[in-house]
Structure 1
Amino acid sequence: MQHRPSDWILILDYGSQYTQLIARRIREFNIYCEIHPFNKDLSDFENNLPSGVIMSGGPSSVNDEDAPYLNTNVFDFEVPVLGICYGLQILAHHIIPGSVEKAERREFGRSDLIVDDDSDLLSNIPEESVVWMSHGDHIKKLPADYEIIAHTDNARVAAVRHVNEKIFGVQFHPEVVHTVYGKQILKNFALDICKLEGTWTAESFIESTVKEIREQVGNDRVVCGLSGGVDSTVVASLIHEAIGDQLQCIFVDNGLLRKNEFQKVLDLYEKELNLPVKGIDASDQFLEALKGVTDPEKKRKIIGNVFIDVFDEAISNDKSFKFLGQGTLYPDVIESISFKGPSATIKSHHNVGGLPEEMNLSLIEPVRELFKDEVRNVGRKLGIPDGFIKRHPFPGPGLGIRILSDVTRDKLTLLREVDDIFISELRSQDLYDEVWQALAVLLPVQSVGVMGDERTYEYTAALRAVTSVDGMTADWAHLPHPFLAYVSNRIINEVPGINRVVYDVSSKPPSTIEWE
């Protein structure tokens, strides 16, 4: 399912760690954009040309033997082009091979940009401002058709434009927050140079998506597996808006949900959202399959396979289902089409991955072009309660990957109580919305403690809370020390089996948000 509007920006990825940030910044102007590898066959867009092209930075040197090349077909579109860092250097190198060379002094971090011409791209930018540099090469010879519009003390060529065409380049990264006026630069390019109006909103997305779902499904039926999370709930709500009771939702209790979660979420689906949902308690089936398993990847695969079995059994007697609704998000799509092919697998994706071929269901993925915060905005417009929309992400394998050992009912009971205390205190002390995700982990560590006059030998619980925008990067949340002390005290006093609590102070990267 493709929701590309008529006015959009194409981002060609040259491998920068910041490429997704470019997309996020552009979308903040209510402008749709897509990321594709630099070597994408651009003829795929002949029937819906972009209104502008941005070429990202990248880790390579243009002089490397296998360096990513300039996709010259972008100029056939006859639309504005902006090259960022490597994207700028490849413009010069393509015209004058050898014009880019290793700089005597590399430039990484903050630098002072001096604006030489504040028209078009650098309009409304102060004469001097801070930008974020990240490059070891620099342009020593600028092609004749380009002129310098900004410089730094270390980079004679910090921003350029073509004298006749709407082609621009910057040596710094306007997409990162460290570039103080970076958002204004991207706004100048998207709105003023590309002449886009910023009409891509949650409302317009819902309108076009509902229409597409109706056309795609016709009179057939759709089945949608609900996880209890925001993504699948928004997907189900979109599909229900489009086709009503031609949709059947299935919400499975895998025994790995949080305290009282199955019934609470089921009530929300049935009583508040009026979704046609069937609740299935398959906890025994999941826990039996997980018995004795400690490897996190094996846990994921087992949980995914059992879910498929339960899901298959639930609809096996009804041949009217032709489509499967799924909550794939844009970061998952981007990672599968990185400029060097699929990204290295750090861990299997939390969502259930795929169904047996014999089910013969076509996929409907209404939010596959959206980031997490965009999905939440759509959910609000669909009338999903804000308290649910603001819920922290919860992985598909649930508490199964928050127990860092084999999964048993007793351990699940311990972790549920710890998690419930942590989350409920975050809410009661108005800290829940201050963090992007909070969770508790049961460690495979038992340690000596003293309670009263008795020696204990019990488990350790780890608490984790992070701040983030979309989960791609995250910093550990600096929760107040008195709060952490109070929560720790409650857990140790109220959860028999836990005698030690620790707080995770690592960021992503290098750590991941979940422990497994």
Structure 2
Amino acid sequence: MHALERREAIIVLDYGSQYSRLITRRIRECQVYSELVPANTTLEDLQKNAHLDIKGFIFSGGPSSVYDADAPLCDPAILNSGLPILGICYGMQLLAQELGGHVAPTQGLREYGPATIEVLPEAAEDKQIFRIFEGISATPQQTDNLDASQPEVLRLPAWMSHGDSVDKLPEGFRVLARTESNPVAAIGDARGYIGLQFHPEVTHTPQGKEIIRNFLFRICHCEASWTAGHVIDEAVDLIRQQVGSDHVICGLSGGVDSAVAALLIHKAIGDQLTCIFVDTGLLRAGEREQVEETFANHMHIPLVVVDARQRFLDKLANVSDPERKRKIIGAEFISIFEDEAVRLAETQENVTFLAQGTLYPDVIESTSHDTATTAKSIKSHHNVGGLPSEMKLKLVEPLRMLFKDEVREIGAALGLPEEWVWRHPFPGPGLAIRVIGAVDEPKLKVLREADRIVIEEIRKAGIYRELGQAFAVLTPVQSVGVMGDYRTYAYLVAVRAVTTGDFMTADWARLPDELLGRISNRLTNEIAEINRVVYDITSKPPSTIEWE
């Protein structure tokens, strides 16, 4: 697939569900491209992107009721486009209402959490409508306790989250599935309009991915063409078109995202790329040495290392607010890159582009989709919201529409060493947002050593790859302790470890007690400034993964 070829796509309209991004990821996992767009996006706006060959739409769930006066709707042109539509939860109710059906508060039991859907045997008679459940069967565990007198009934576990229900079907629709308390759990018609009251995108619906695959391949007739090889080819073409004969500088952070961005750009334009690694003094232990070894010596990509440790510390002196820290660091990065661009221009003409490893979750979190036109910012990502508006360099962001798992797959295909491919993410502002409050060199030294110990013990335990992220946080809290015969008054360090599939949501990792004990023992014995260790057991949401 090349840049000028049209790319098959499924468009997900975001009605505010916490699972909207997950729908997009599930589609991508099936090797079909998908984009998440605000609910009020029009078909005309979507069709302005000539490279998108839209094969269907998915309406997400959401917190609203379709009968509310201010309920988010959809562009009528999408309903009249003739393209298949899958409505999930609120999306099903919206589809039903807009096509002439009716939705009301649930008269029976409201359904929140696990449920069992029963696929109606008579629905299977209409093969055209039934395609959403075609080929799906219950596992042995799901049939062990069922009534043997009804062997043909397909019952599937599913995840529900709704207080409204469809109580009148639109013309031409029929019920495909029900639950014990809801007679309308799935609906469909011959045009490829499907409604599911449950959430197939979550892992609590075990056959959910098969249901999504049926929508993609049996109903929308997509091809599984969103592969690492095609993504690389397309990215290379787009980079060449954007950059032309100009030169690019790429800021390496030491993480997989900026590394993959650099490899893609180098594949596209070769020596027109110069990588710049800025030693901010906010790095993990051994970061600078590893970058120099991998890129300059192993990958043979031009690399400039800038020692700016004191420069960043001076700018961050006495700054406690996390957003201010992010903005200061972002602005200082750009200032350094612009200085380097001027220096490089003495030997290379037209250094006009700055490359970054911005990912799709960064973009979504910095300007999250709302059902209205106003985007709600969660926090400023260094790669997105921390850049000054007056910067002179133009941005190249080849990973901007990719999720982390896709980036890792591309990195492996490009020959990035496995240690880099699976390295835990590290925020652009570095340890500055893991020191809670004002940043100075003594605190950074403590945190850097603490972080090294945490990761070292997790690697020894053999669970590094099982975790999405793990790190130490230096809090401003100091407490009384006793070491030997002496009273201490030292720092409290928090350890954070999460499991996640997409970094949009995350759960705290259930680390073994023995491992937590070893980490705590080493932190308090090997670092004199620490006398207390706590473990963070909050998920995302309500927390974010980082503390600042």
Q: In which range does the TM-score fall when normalised by the shorter chain?
A: over 0.9
**Distance across 2 between alignment mates of 1:87 and 1:4:** 31
**Distance across 2 between alignment mates of 1:50 and 1:352:** 28
Count of matched residue pairs:
514
Q: Which of residues 321, 335, 353 is equivalent to 1:323?
A: 353
Q: 2:135 maps to what in 1?
A: 124
Q: 2:37 maps to what in 1?
A: 36
**Distance across 2 between alignment mates of 1:81 and 1:355:** 38
- Kindly indicate whether residue 193 of structure 2 is the aligned counterpart of residue 161 of structure 1: no
**Distance across 1 between alignment mates of 2:36 and 2:4:** 14
Q: 1:67 maps to what in 2?
A: 71
**Distance across 1 between alignment mates of 2:237 and 2:378:** 37
- Kindly indicate whether residue 346 of structure 2 is the aligned counterpart of residue 332 of structure 1: no
How many Å apart are 1:343 and its aligned residue? 4.2
For the structure 1 residues 177 and 12, does the alpha-carbon distance in structure 2 shift closer, same or farther, using more than 3 Å as the test?
same
**Distance across 1 between alignment mates of 2:444 and 2:155:** 57
Q: 1:220 maps to what in 2?
A: 246
- Kindly indicate whether residue 544 of structure 2 is the aligned counterpart of residue 512 of structure 1: yes
Q: 2:172 maps to what in 1?
A: 145
**Distance across 1 between alignment mates of 2:135 and 2:380:** 45
Q: 1:17 maps to what in 2?
A: 18
Contact 1:49–1:77, Cα closer than 8 Å, also in 2: no
> In the TM superposition, what whole-angstrom CA distance separates every residue of 1:479-511 from its partner, at most 9, and x where no partner exists?
111111112111211112111222111111111
Query: Superposition pairs for residues 335-414 of structure 1, below 5 Å?
Result: 335=365, 336=367, 337-341=369-373, 343-351=375-383, 353=385, 359-414=391-446
Unpaired runs of at least 5, structure 2: 125-129, 138-153
- Kindly indicate whether residue 228 of structure 2 is the aligned counterpart of residue 202 of structure 1: yes
Contact 1:5–1:32, Cα closer than 8 Å, also in 2: no
Q: 2:300 maps to what in 1?
A: 274
How many Å apart are 1:174 and its aligned residue? 0.9
Contact 2:326–2:429, Cα closer than 8 Å, also in 1: yes
Q: 1:445 maps to what in 2?
A: 477
- Kindly indicate whether residue 264 of structure 2 is the aligned counterpart of residue 238 of structure 1: yes
> In the TM superposition, what whole-angstrom CA distance separates every residue of 1:114-166 from its partner, at most 9, and x where no partner exists?
1012431111234111111111111111122111111112211111111x422
**Distance across 2 between alignment mates of 1:403 and 1:313:** 28
Contact 2:467–2:497, Cα closer than 8 Å, also in 1: yes
**Distance across 2 between alignment mates of 1:167 and 1:264:** 52
**Distance across 2 between alignment mates of 1:11 and 1:38:** 9
**Distance across 2 between alignment mates of 1:4 and 1:129:** 40
SS in 2 for 1:140: strand
Contact 1:103–1:137, Cα closer than 8 Å, also in 2: yes
Q: 2:83 maps to what in 1?
A: 79
For the structure 1 residues 237 and 402, does the alpha-carbon distance in structure 2 shift closer, same or farther, using more than 3 Å as the test?
same
**Distance across 2 between alignment mates of 1:407 and 1:354:** 18
**Distance across 2 between alignment mates of 1:228 and 1:290:** 21
SS in 1 for 2:407: helix
How many Å apart are 1:85 and its aligned residue? 1.4
Q: 1:470 maps to what in 2?
A: 502
Give 1:364's aligned amino acid.
V
**Distance across 2 between alignment mates of 1:312 and 1:203:** 33
How many Å apart are 1:26 and its aligned residue? 0.9
Give 1:214's aligned amino acid.
R
Q: 2:145 maps to what in 1?
A: none
How many Å apart are 1:473 and its aligned residue? 1.1
> In the TM superposition, what whole-angstrom CA distance separates every residue of 1:324-346 from its partner, at most 9, and x where no partner exists?
21222112333424332454333
Contact 1:463–1:503, Cα closer than 8 Å, also in 2: yes
For the structure 1 residues 254 and 179, does the alpha-carbon distance in structure 2 shift closer, same or farther, using more than 3 Å as the test?
same
Q: 2:330 maps to what in 1?
A: 304
Give 2:82's aligned amino acid.
E
SS in 2 for 1:51: strand
**Distance across 1 between alignment mates of 2:232 and 2:172:** 44
Q: 1:92 maps to what in 2?
A: 96
- Kindly indicate whether residue 424 of structure 2 is the aligned counterpart of residue 423 of structure 1: no
Contact 2:117–2:158, Cα closer than 8 Å, also in 1: yes
**Distance across 2 between alignment mates of 1:342 and 1:380:** 38
CA-based RMSD of the aligned residues comes to: 1.9
SS in 2 for 1:77: coil
Q: Which moved more, 1:453-462 or 1:230-239?
A: 453-462
Q: Which moved more, 1:333-342 or 1:425-434?
A: 333-342
- Kindly indicate whether residue 98 of structure 2 is the aligned counterpart of residue 103 of structure 1: no
**Distance across 2 between alignment mates of 1:500 and 1:165:** 62
What is the TM-score with the length of structure 2 in the denominator?
A: 0.90
Q: Equivalent pairs: percent with the same residue?
A: 51
For the structure 1 residues 352 and 274, does the alpha-carbon distance in structure 2 shift closer, same or farther, using more than 3 Å as the test?
farther
SS in 1 for 2:241: helix
